[in-house]
Amino acid sequence: MAVASKKIPAPDLVEIKTALLSVSDKSGVVEFASALAARGIRLLSTGGTHKALADAGLQVTDVSAVTGFPEIMDGRVKTLHPKVHGGLLAIRDDEEHQVAMREHGIDGIDLAVINLYPFEEVRAAGGDYPTTVENIDIGGPAMIRAAAKNHAYVAVATDPEDYGAITEALDAGNGALPYALRETLAARAYARTAAYDAAISGWFAEALEIENPRHRTLGGTLRQEMRYGENPHQSAAFYVTGDKRPGVANAVQHQGKQLSYNNINDTDAAFELVAEFSPEIAPACAIIKHANPCGVARADTLVEAYHRALSCDNQSAFGGIVALNQTLDSETAGEIVKLFTEVIIAPDADEEAKAIIAAKKNLRLLTTGALPDPRAKGFNMKTVAGGFLVQGRDTAMIDEIELKVVTERAPSERELEDLKMAFAIAKHVKSNAIVYVKDGQTAGIGAGQMSRIDSARIAALKAEDAAKAAGWPEPMTRGSAVASEAFFPFADGLLSAVAAGATAVIQPGGSIRDQEVIDAANANGVAMVFTGTRTFRH
């Protein structure tokens, strides 16, 4: 429903005579308060903020001197008082409100500069239960909401980034702030308290292990506005939640232009995939295009892993994302820059590698400090018309799944390792997904087809193209292991994989035609194992 009018009855300009400052994040607050004082604005403050301003030589009144009541209960109660909230909520041109203010000695507060206890930071740092609870702010949100509701007469600042705009507006308005700015600040204020409460409710749900709370809220802070979304006609922005999971949201970007919507989406997919492979076991590389892998490989060295991943589909890799599970070294960096690549993401990069990447001004290098834990709980969200879907992160790990050999022939040790790798990769391929792996590298990947047999055929075709491009005598699917992220509903999908040269198969099982598929595998001397676990990715 459209709002009838943005503007409520209110003066366009409101003179700022008194400001209340109570901040946890004291960045820039002394400078801002000094600017207010220089403009003749009376300063009120509380606790640590009062001390910081007083120590800076500013004339500032403690709120307890206004309320006539001291801070009590370790500061839990200090601004929850009628003389504070009356000063924020009073309608200035309402005679009854003015009478109440005079009767009770309430002075108006025209500017509230409030930011909140660092709950999100304490939560992200893994604070214990009592410490986290103690960092739930009460008075701050109450004052913010009061000031924002009364934006017809009161301005509210909840972020140090707002300070500059306020001082500029005060100069332009000869000590008064315009309605448009007050309204904008009020909107930001409610968004801030909403995100704050979302973080608190999310923490409680985690602490109490409530998977599906009655009300689900998600808050985020704007990281960047983008030129467009997936397509040029779509608007887009990137918000961060404060979750410290290593990845694109918490990475350091060393160079290159701003990441696009598609860059961020693809880079996240690439890094989550490569994290499946422990750097303690072997270097690994994943190359991603449109959130699907073009190639994945493990090897004795990082540069070899890159070359092996690239060989699976070097055509699709053009303009893709390269994700590594170990520190990027100069040799690997030198090879990556030979092909146009959008983003490289790795836990770290040595100085020589950074220098090599720096020569490619449009290539972005991101370092994260660590790999995300593929076993860590979390959730994914997808919007639908009128709502959104929430599900737990897919934490299925092949090494923790009990495999069941269902054919006459069991896989060899080499086949079993390739089967496990193929299944781990298939978890990150859009369904329907078929992944061939041979000797620790992908041989062919079929993604996102409506028919599983089509995915198997596409993967085989990709392998044939790769063999021709590399001058190999035969495609790598010959003698490979193949994974399907869901069961084969008919034997035709398996037979297509067999025709491509696969000698071992891993799949969840569970079809009413499982025996038909098992019989087809036995008839062709193929080993097959069931996982009992499906890993759809839509």
CB 293 within 8 A of CB 448: no
**Residue 2: what pLDDT?**
46
Arithmetic mean of pLDDT, 112-129: 92
Angle subtended by helix axes 29-38 and 47-55, to nearest 10: 70
425 exposure class (CB count in 10 Å sphere: 0-12, 13-18, 19+): buried
Comparing CA positions, the residue from 527, 530, 531, 529 lying closest to residue 408 is 527
CB 116 within 8 A of CB 137: yes
Distance CA 226, CA 235 (A): 7
Arithmetic mean of pLDDT, 74-91: 81
Backbone angles phi, psi at 289, to 5 degrees: -140, 125
| Tens-place pLDDT, residues 227-279 | 999 999 999 999 998 888 999 999 999 998 999 999 999 999 999 999 999 99
Amino acid at 135: N
3-state secondary structure of 123: helix
**Residue 125: what pLDDT?**
87
| Tens-place pLDDT, residues 309-331 | 999 999 999 999 999 999 999 99
Q: Of the given ranges (70-79, 189-198, 323-332), which has the lowest mean pLDDT?
A: 70-79
Q: Which two tokens stand for residue 331?
A: 């040799």
CB 252 within 8 A of CB 343: no
- Assess whether pLDDT exceeds 70 at residue 3: no
**Which positions are annotated as active-site residues?**
149, 290
Distance set, CA 20 to CA 111, 252, 500 (Å) = 6, 36, 73
Distance CA 279, CA 306 (A): 14
Comparing CA positions, the residue from 295, 234, 286, 292 lying closest to residue 260 is 234
Pairing assessment for the beta strands 42-45 and 18-22 based on DSSP bridges: parallel
Distance CA 16, CA 176 (A): 6
pTM (predicted TM-score) = 0.86
Q: Could you tell me the pLDDT band of residue 6, with boundaries at 50, 70 and 90?
A: low
Distance CA 325, CA 335 (A): 16
